[in-house]
Amino acid sequence: MVKTGILGQGIYLPPKKLTNLDLEKIVETSDEWIRTRTGIQERRVVSNEKTSELASKAAINALENSKIPASKIDLIVVATASPDSNFPSLACKVQKAIGASKAFAFDINAVCAGYLYALTTAKQYIQTGMANYALVIGAENFTSLIDWQDRNTCVLFGDGAGACVLGPVTSGGILADYLMAFGSQCDLMHVVAGEKRSPFHPDTTQSKLPYVVMHGQELFKLAVASMADAVDEVLKKAKIKKEEVACVIPHQANDRIISAVAKKLNIPKEKIFVNIEKYGNMSAASIAVAMYEAEESKRIKKGDYVVLVVFGAGLVSAANVVKWS
Ligand code: ACO
């Protein structure tokens, strides 16, 4: 089996910021409520960019930082729950934008857990020799799925993209993977009005835009339990003790969820990377951007054991242990 690691990372965030104070003008909410209940201060929102443009820009940044040319990429996997359209896949659009002409390419939808689902999937192709270099991207235009009259959801989400190039490494790399799904909980967060129905069904209306509905409190509890379990399981697989972990990078849905996971795992909060204050929940892009910023700010460095952990609508959860290389 080929040892696989992260060779370089990239991000792209749309420049437009939407602060909590801006949201006070849209729905009945307050900066104080949003900050204390979630930790979010502002988020990025697209102006007119499509998800494929965010994905392509993050991909170009990751190729530059890994010093791997697009012509060497064998596989492109994009994690997204908010693609430009049903098809073609974002992965094919990215392939066109970057000129990775020899790659095979497809999308994965595991909502907020998508980036680690994509990372683990791409790793399998490299480990088994079917690909040498893979581009993994998490990209979302999640604000397009939001009902901007619903204060329960509209304060939480943002747009952005992150990416990495995976390839063979001589030591370290991705040591263990954990993927799980709890489909019985799929109604806790879902998109309505965009559901595919027969055009002849009496309930079908073409005028309604799709929007997210969410049962926040139930999700909160399951997020804490499933992320803590995922960390325990993946550390067991990697045969690494909690004390050896230099940094945990979790999905950024709510700072209170992150604190509760740290407490449940008995891991000091200082070891957990948090950047939710700047971006809110960008679904599949959240952990990708957090991983980039953790490396950029030197919170993680070569040789560190890093735990990545996510949960998302579905419900789905995933985790990886990486020895940073
Ligand atoms: N501003 C002001 N008040 C608000 C707002 C708001 N934006 N939103 C809700 N409230 C009110 C409610 O109406 C309620 O009022 P009431 O007591 O008069 O009924 C009160 O605040 C408390 O509401 P709760 O739902 O109990 O608030 P809670 O502390 O649970 O926080 C939150 C809500 C932030 C949504 C939290 O439950 C959460 O983060 N859940 C997890 C959600 C999540 O992670 N979703 C992403 C899933 S991952 C993916 O796949 C995308």
Domain boundaries, the chain: 4-171, 176-323
Q: Is the CB of 283 under 6 A from ligand 1?
A: yes
Q: Catalytic positions, please?
A: 112, 251, 281
Is 174 in a helix, a strand, or coil? strand
What is the domain class of 176-323 according to CATH? alpha beta
Q: Is the CB of 191 under 6 A from ligand 1?
A: no
Handedness of CA 92, 86, 278, 255 (dihedral sign): negative
The answer to whether 325 touches 305, Cβ cutoff 8 Å, is no
Is 276 in a helix, a strand, or coil? helix
Closest by CA to 111, choosing from 131, 69, 139, is 139
Q: What is the pLDDT of residue 30?
A: 98
Q: Which residue do the tokens 């680690």 mark? A: 116
Instruction: Give distance in angstroms: CA of 267 to centre of ligand 1.
Output: 25
Pocket test for ligand 1, best of 30, 36, 37, 221 (most atoms within 8 A of CB): 37
Handedness of CA 269, 273, 276, 278 (dihedral sign): positive
In SS3 terms, 2-64 reads as CCEEEEEEEEECCCCEEEHHHHHCCCCCCHHHHHHHHCCCEEECCCCCCHHHHHHHHHHHHHH
Instruction: Give distance in angstroms: CA of 217 to centre of ligand 1.
Output: 7
Cα–Cα distance, 305 to 302 (Å, whole number): 9
Instruction: Give distance in angstroms: CA of 11 to centre of ligand 1.
Output: 28
Q: What is the mean pLDDT of the chain?
A: 95
**Which atom belonging to ligand 1 lies closest to the Cα atom of 113?**
50
Cα–Cα distance, 152 to 30 (Å, whole number): 12
Range name among 31-40, 95-104, 185-194, 288-297 with the lowest pLDDT average = 185-194
Q: For residue 210, what pLDDT band results from cuts at 50, 70 and 90? A: confident
CA dihedral 218, 220, 221, 222 (to 10 degrees): 80
Does residue 74 surpass a pLDDT of 80?
yes
The two three-digit tokens of residue 94, written as one number: 């990215």
Is 150 in a helix, a strand, or coil? coil
Note if the pTM is more than 0.85. yes
Range name among 13-17, 165-169, 200-204 with the lowest pLDDT average = 200-204
For 232-270, what is each residue's pLDDT tens digit? 999 999 999 999 999 999 999 999 999 999 999 999 999
Pocket test for ligand 1, best of 140, 217, 315, 317 (most atoms within 8 A of CB): 217
Same-fold call for 4-171 versus 176-323: yes
Does residue 207 surpass a pLDDT of 90?
no
Q: For residue 198, what pLDDT band results from cuts at 50, 70 and 90? A: confident
Q: What is the pLDDT of residue 107?
A: 98
Superfamily name and number for 4-171: Thiolase/Chalcone synthase (3.40.47.10)
Does residue 204 surpass a pLDDT of 70?
no
Instruction: Give distance in angstroms: CA of 32 to centre of ligand 1.
Output: 13
Range name among 1-5, 31-35, 202-206 with the lowest pLDDT average = 202-206
